[in-house]
Amino acid sequence: MPHINLPPGHSPGISGLLMYREETAKPLRELVEILLLGPSTLSPGEREIIASSVSWWNDCHFCHTSHGAAACAHLDRDAEFIDAIKAGLPNEPLSPKMRALLHVAHQVQRGGKHVTDDDVAKARAAGATDVEIHDTVLIAASFCMFNRYVDGLGTWAWPEKEKFMEIGRKMAKGYLEPYVPSAGQ
């Protein structure tokens, strides 16, 4: 049950909150669009993995699962990949650069001052550019905010990861339009 009165039949997670306050929704949607789908040398799937991982570490079920589902859509994976993200992707063939960037993201999630010169040097040694390091930190920091927004206002989410796959497919196409669940959800 949300902590504030949202419109009847509101969408799950952040979607209902964004519909509640359109003037704050616009810049938030634009930020996510740029961070996760804008021009980058990191693929949209890699950026969604960062968002989903940070959300998992923050214990935000809605954001972890919806962005994990978006990663599935980008990477042509099934819903079980969401569980692989939870586990830290130990059996996935991620590049050393991606593993180093995920470490940086985890340090940001713990607190920005946890990112050390050594963490950044390891990411650079693994091939990360300054822009990729910047964007990883900004994705992680932004998702800390989004996770607290969703959970701080007590929004709801389905328990089953399979129900998020439709959201993930829509998110993979863009963040500027509100998500409206299909009739069966």
In order of their start, the domains of the chain are: 27-34+42-171 (1.20.1290.10)
What would the pLDDT profile of 83-127 be if each residue is shown by its tens digit?
999 999 999 999 999 999 999 999 999 999 999 999 999 999 999
What would the pLDDT profile of 136-170 be if each residue is shown by its tens digit?
999 999 999 999 999 999 998 888 889 899 999 99
CA–CA gap between residue 171 and residue 155 (Å, rounded):
18
Residue 51 near residue 153, CB atoms below 8 Å? no
Q: Residue for token digits 């570490």?
A: 57
Residue 184, pLDDT above cutoff 80: no
CA–CA gap between residue 136 and residue 132 (Å, rounded):
6
Report which of 144, 126, 176, 116 is spatially closest to residue 50, judged by C-alpha positions: 144
